[in-house]
Each structure stands twice: as C-alpha cells, then as structure tokens.
Amino acid sequence: MSKLLIKGGRPLRGETEIKAAKNAVLPILAATLLTEEPCEIHNVPVIADVDNMLKILRSVGSAVEFKEGVISVWNRDATGYNVPTELAKELRSSFFLLGPILARHRRAIVAYPGGCDIGVRPLDIHLKGLSEMGIAIEESHGMIYCDGTRLHGADVALDFPSVGATENLMMAAALAKGRTRIFNAAKEPEIVDLQSFLRALGAKVDGAGGDRIEIEGVEKLHGAVYTPIPDRIVAGTILIAGATCGGEVTVTHVVPDHLDALLFKLNKSSCNLRVNGDRITIRSDSRPRHFDKLETQPYPGFPTDLQSQMMVMMCVSEGTGLIVENIFETRYRIVRELIKMGARITVKDRTAVIRGVRSIEGASVSAGDLRGGAALVIAGLKAEGYTTIDNVSHIDRGYDAIERIFASLGGEISRLR
C-alpha cells in the first residue's frame, strides 16, 4: 500500500489545469446506460472512482475504453441489470445506476453501496422517490430488488435536497412514460451538468439549478459527445493550499461562479484573489486571518467537501474560529490527525472550535476519507519537517495523482510504493 511523503514549509507557485469533476463524471457515466448508441466523455481524470464505475459498466455488458482522458462507452449489449456486490461496495456512486438501469430494463438488483465512511447517507430518499414513480422495491440480505414494469412519471417531493437522489430520479424519468416533477431538488452545478448531458442525449429536462426539475419521458435516446464541468472541489483544494502555504497559485479551466462560497471566505482571510475568465489566482504573503464561522450547507452554501481543507487553513490562522458541519456527522475524523501535528481543535457534536497556531509539525498520519486525506496533504505541505500519509487509496478516489499536482506547484511531495 502506497504512502505520501511530504517535506513541508515551502510556498506554492505556479498554475494547474482542472479536469472534469468526479461528481459530474460518475452520474454521466451512469446515464450513458440510457442509450444503446455510443457516447464519448472528455477530459476525465484518472481516479479510482472512475475506474470502479467503468468496471461496473463492463459488468453489465457495456463496451468501455478509456484513453488519453476520453471515455468511450457503447451500451448496445449492456443487458445486465444486476450490479455486482463486490463492485458496489467499492463505490458510493454505484447507486446512480439504479435509475438508468430501471429506465432501460424495468428491473434492477443493486447492493448497498460503499465509499467513504463519513457518516450516515440514507438511501431512503432515493427509494421513496422511485417508489412514487411506480417502482416496487424489496430489500433483502443487503440487496435492493426493484421491479420497474410500472415505471411512470410522477410528482416527487424530496425530504432533503439530496444530490444523488435528484440525479437518480432524473435518469429514471428520462425514459419513463409521462411527466416527472422533482420538488426540493438539489441545486449543485453537477445537477445542471447532468441535465445538459441528458439533453445532449435527446432527453426533455428543464429546471436544474432551481428548486423544481421537470422531465418529460421519451421513448428513446441517442448518443453524444460531452465534456463535463471542471472539478470545483479539486480547484478549491488547490486554492486553499495556496492560502495556507503562501505563494501564488493559479487554477485554470474553472467556473468561478461554482466557487463563490469558498472565494467569499478566502477574501476574508487576507488572501489576494484575481478572477479572469476561467482562471483564478490566489496570492498569500502573510499568515491567514480567521473568519468567525464556517457552516456547511447544500449548494450554493459552503460545500462539505471543502470543510476539512478549510479546517487545515484555520489551524494556522490568526485567532479562533468555528466550523459547523451540517451535512455529514463524521467529517471530523481528520481532527485527531491534525492534533498529532500540533493543531488546537475541540469538537462537540457537529461544531469544531479551532484555535490558530503559528506552525504545525510533520507527523505520520492516516487518511480516513477522500477529502480529509486531501486536507492532510495541505497540512503536510504547510508543516515543519516531514509528514507521511498512509491510506492514500482514499485520496486516489477523487484526485488524479495529487502528488504530481502539488509537485508541479513547488511542493516537496512524492509517493512511496
């Protein structure tokens, strides 16, 4: 099992181009199952979650090729409707396949999915919505059996604006008879991107980015060539690293509007930000200043996927600040690792109090989840001395060779095999 070795204390300088968003690519790959015609997805990162999704597509009969950032999918022979348990356990996003498989085959068998252990992420929102669309659902021995012979359009009101549930229902509705309206829909940019891809296939979808999405089912969809939106979380991770470590860093091929909540916070932390088209530059020449409170919320609020990275910055900022985590209750697993490095953090329930220190020290730490692992990389780049990070497989789920990204910006970081 590989580890990352980091020698900290160097400012970061340079620029890096952001690839397609993991959280956009995965549901789009699932949506290719809605058509028998070929699809091409461009600018895709080489990450473990994409690799696992391609394994699942192959397991149901898809012909898949991934070469030089382009994924080609041909689903003419994708007749399978059973997602293998061993693959579903590796990937939370395997549940996205439920909607498109039901839409195409009118039946599906899916295991409860895996992914990062960051707290309870109930699937009942997905299943309740699908049942309102006529799906008969039976749960037994860790498997979900769905009969979609009566799949139809319906009005579905989500109890919480779940991204995954919104995407699942959009895909199921694309080939369902009649009209579906999703109320209290998630508003994330990845939802809008899935709508754009479904439209490229010939689906009739409207309203993504707002509270209500409407889908008029069609009988058949065609293929498409598509480039997903850039990864706002990877871009945000790099910008936070620049703010934490000092120097001047530019991320290119981004959509600045997708990062508004983060940029607002960074502007308050004594960083200099410049936005020019699809480029964002951050310059930090002094110790960051604390902002009083950071509270995670569904989009357009502050993303939970950047909370751990911001915690690292707050650890070395002036003053004391609060983080309130409203999305996932175990996002604070990183705290014990940061305390090893000299951070001063107190946690009670969903609130963390961070008292800034002038410096942190390198240590042997472990990545407990994807975003927490990326945050530990930032901590290692900032810390005095050497840091080793194990369980790097968590980081590899969402970052395309994170060591190469930060080495290209001047960080002393390498992978130990």
Percent composition of the chain: helix, strand, coil (DSSP 3-state, to 5):
35, 30, 35
Q: How many helices (H) and strands (E) does the chain have?
A: 14, 24
Tell me how far apart the alpha carbons of residues 330 and 349 are, in angstroms, rounded to a whole number. Answer: 9
Tell me how far apart the alpha carbons of residues 16 and 187 are, in angstroms, rounded to a whole number. Answer: 27
Beta strands at 107-111 and 247-252: parallel, antiparallel or unpaired = unpaired
Do 292 and 311 meet the contact criterion of CB atoms below 8 Å apart? no
Do 317 and 288 meet the contact criterion of CB atoms below 8 Å apart? yes
Q: Which of 164, 170, 133 is nearest to 31 (CA)?
A: 170
Beta bridge partners of 204: 216
Do 388 and 364 meet the contact criterion of CB atoms below 8 Å apart? yes
Tokens of 336: 């014990």
- Taking the CB of residue 36, how many other CB atoms lie within 10 A of it? 16
| Angle, CA of 13, 16 and 22, to the nearest 5° | 135
Do 307 and 371 meet the contact criterion of CB atoms below 8 Å apart? yes
Do 56 and 91 meet the contact criterion of CB atoms below 8 Å apart? yes
**Catalytic residue positions, numbered:** 116
